[in-house]
Amino acid sequence: MDKAGMKKTTVINSDLSRVISQMGHFDTLAIGDAGMPVPKGTEKIDLAVTKQLPSFLDVLKNVLAELQVQRIYLAEEMKTENPDQLSAVQQLLPDVDVKFIPHDQMKQDLSKCHAFVRTGEMTPFSNIILESGVTF
């Protein structure tokens, strides 16, 4: 049996699991839509299969099952351009500190992330930077 078959947790993508396991306090991981440009130096974990598959929210839920998050960064533009997605994110992370930043700033901040997880999401500004917390 392969190692993924032995794993009891919910993240079975080997690259995503590796990145999450290597993260420390205050490290960041980004998840985003299919169109987000990823800086050359940032690892891209491409999960996109086709339009909307997997969705931004499905991947976010999967990552949150394993990653302790203390703060999230969202684009200011999400408030007006994708309020339904914003509401869904806030419902998933009701007690987490939210910082809104301009989308252009978010694109720059991807260079500091451990990785960018590309989804099949096709709605505007469906991007998030997760800042890891500690479980103790």
Structure confidence at residue 7 (pLDDT): 55
- In angstroms, the CA 95 to CA 135 distance is 15
Tokens of 62: 């999967």
- In angstroms, the CA 8 to CA 72 distance is 26
Q: Is 103 annotated as a binding residue?
A: yes
Catalytic residues: 25
Tokens of 78: 């999400």
Q: Is 114 annotated as a binding residue?
A: no
Domains of the chain: 26-132 (3.40.1650.10)
What is the DSSP annotation of the chain?
Answer: --HHHH--SS---HHHHHHHHH--TT-EEEEE-TT----TTSEEEE---BTTBS-HHHHHHHHHTT--EEEEEEETTHHHH-HHHHHHHHHHSTTSEEEEE-HHHHHHHGGGSSEEEE----STT--EEEEE----
Q: Is 82 annotated as a binding residue?
A: no
Q: Is 111 annotated as a binding residue?
A: no
Mean pLDDT per segment of 10 residues, for the chain of length 136 residues?
Answer: 57 95 96 97 98 98 96 98 98 97 98 98 98 92
Structure confidence at residue 2 (pLDDT): 46
